[in-house]
Amino acid sequence: MIKTKEAFTNEELAHLVFDLADASYPHGSPWTREQWQTDLALPHSRYFLWEQDGQLLGFLACHLILSEMEIMQVAVHPAHQKKGLAQQLIQALINLAQKAEVDSIFLEVRASNHAAKQVYEKNGFEAIGIRKNYYYYPTEDAVIMLKKVR
């Protein structure tokens, strides 16, 4: 079931998303618990959380500013990957974008993350540029992707 961040306190959710990101990313969470908590408190941050049987299995974090959205993070627990959870989280984001009359959704993804790029492309995102050496551990380019909503 998909929930929003309002179902939790910021401190509680910061711990949950940190732990999930830490388990999901090859080199651990890209943000500290404090950074997650700060992001959760921002008025323009939105979170879509896939929870099942009281356990957080995946999340999508984004920012909504004026008529644009940016996906900040997407993570699905390794034991639940390749089951369509990321697809459902992205669809929830697109539904919100349409209701909020958003023009565009942006994101950056590791150039080597073919599975993620494939999911984004399936949802209408197109590569529009490269950020050289954007990621670290290991250093890698980011592919900038865009989806026009309206």
CA distances in angstroms from 150 to 31, 52, 76, 99, listed in the order given: 32, 32, 28, 11
- Angle at which helix 33-41 crosses helix 10-24, to 10 degrees, equals 130
Q: Which of 108, 134, 135, 136 is catalytic?
A: 108
Active site residue 135: no
Among residues 135, 123, 118, 117, which one has the least CA distance to residue 98?
123
The one catalytic residue in 6, 68, 120, 135 is: 120
Residue 136 among the catalytic residues: no
**Residue 128 burial (C-beta neighbours within 10 Å; 0-12, 13-18, 19+):** exposed
Cα angle value 35/48/128 (rounded, 5°): 80
44 neighbors 65 (Cβ within 8 angstroms): yes
Active site residues: 108, 120
